[in-house]
Structure 1
Amino acid sequence: MSSRLPHPSDRVILVCGPAGSGKSTVARACRDAGYEVLSFDEEAWSRGHTSHPVPEEVAQAIHRDLQRRLLSLVAAGESVAVDTSFWSRRSRDDYRECLRPAGIVPVVYYLDTPRSIILERLSRRRGDGPHDVVVPPDRAASYLDGFEVPTPAEGPLRVVDHA
């Protein structure tokens, strides 16, 4: 990861990429730089959901809670990184819409990690924690095939080469 990340002017960062792309590493760098980090996987794990996919109703509840916490942190003047896949434009737009009344435009950090590296990383997972959730090969391929890569047309975007 570039030493320029996180960029100091990025108040809210949406850390975006498929499972195994390196989102947790980028989120950790954000935390080290003073950002509050909201992690979907940590929240799911704390609720007892230790495998993928999390049931849809649980995922929706987690996102509602993350968005509520995000708005509270932003109102308190904090810089925040949200660590979840943001696999679809709709998921990214939901967070943009959540932040709009606060006058904040988030920056998407898209982890552009080669498929082969992602699959290799996922094959090493053992389920030891929220950032090590086992993703079977067929599920991993499905996640990669269904991933909607963000574009600058959506809003601010930083592409992170995370090989």
Structure 2
Amino acid sequence: MLSEEVVIERLVQRTSAAPLIVMMCGVAGSGKTTFAQKLESKGFARLSVDEDIWTTHGRFGIDYPEGDYESLKKESEIKLRKKLVNLIQAGQHAVVDFSFWQRQRRDEYKQLIEQYNGVWELIHLKVQPDELRRRLLIRSERFDANAAFPITEDILIQYLNGFETPAGEGETVIEA
């Protein structure tokens, strides 16, 4: 099993002529944003639905009604998908800070990246449920884009039950 630091160094040192697009994959609280921010600090552009919604629309349940979240999420993803294509065409490395919980969605993004001559790397952050709960409790005390949508126990259980674990997809697994 590779450590997070080793994987980040490997990604940063990659010398492919094509732009590298890192796809983050994991359940809420697995550390996707923290990992993506580390890549961002090393020159990768970072695309985050949560941060786009926070910047564009404000806070969940305060600046917009809770019922609007799903439509805002779809709107944001469309916008960020276009930005991803522009980044690939500009030759810029990027990290897509989404959960990629469905194989179909992962496959769609892989095809999109390859269509525009980018190369992808799928990073699956695997964290045990009790550790996710601990992390989400800490996160709930923060006031930022990544804590804007509260993850209740019921929502976490739905996420865990619906998560399609990558297997044989060319993924790199980092286990906490």
Q: TM-score, normalised by structure 1?
A: 0.87
State the Cα distance separating 1:141 from its structure 2 match: 1.2
State yes or no: 1:34 paired with 2:43.
yes
The number of residues matched between the two structures is 160
Separation (CA, whole Å) in 1 of partners of 2:32 and 2:163: 14
Residue 159 of structure 2 aligns with which residue?
A: 143
Residue identity in the other structure for 1:90? Q
Identity of aligned residues (%): 28
State the Cα distance separating 1:30 from its structure 2 match: 0.6
Residue 159 of structure 1 aligns with which residue?
A: 173
Separation (CA, whole Å) in 1 of partners of 2:105 and 2:53: 17
Deviations 1:6-61 (A, max 9, x none): 22328110011111011111011111221111111101222235268864332222
Higher helix share: 2
Residue identity in the other structure for 1:74? I
Q: 1:54 to 1:98 in 2, by over 3 A?
A: farther
Counting only pairs closer than 5 Å after superposition, residues 7-156 of structure 1 correspond to structure 2 as 7=11, 8-9=13-14, 11-46=20-55, 47-48=57-58, 50=60, 55-124=69-138, 125-126=140-141, 128-133=143-148, 134-152=150-168, 154=169, 156=170
Bigger mean CA deviation after superposition, 107-116 or 10-19: 10-19
Bigger mean CA deviation after superposition, 1-10 or 12-21: 1-10
Q: 1:157 to 1:79 in 2, by over 3 A?
A: same
Deviations 1:111-160 (A, max 9, x none): 011111001111231351112232111111111111111122x3x31111
State the Cα distance separating 1:75 from its structure 2 match: 1.1
| SS of match in other structure, 1:103 | coil
Separation (CA, whole Å) in 2 of partners of 1:73 and 1:147: 28
| SS of match in other structure, 2:122 | strand
| SS of match in other structure, 2:4 | coil
Q: Is the CA contact 2:47–2:96 (under 8 Å) kept in the aligned structure 1?
A: yes
Residue identity in the other structure for 2:48? S
Q: Is the CA contact 1:17–1:85 (under 8 Å) kept in the aligned structure 2?
A: yes
Separation (CA, whole Å) in 1 of partners of 2:68 and 2:25: 18
Separation (CA, whole Å) in 2 of partners of 1:23 and 1:54: 24
Separation (CA, whole Å) in 2 of partners of 1:141 and 1:54: 22
Residue identity in the other structure for 2:7? L
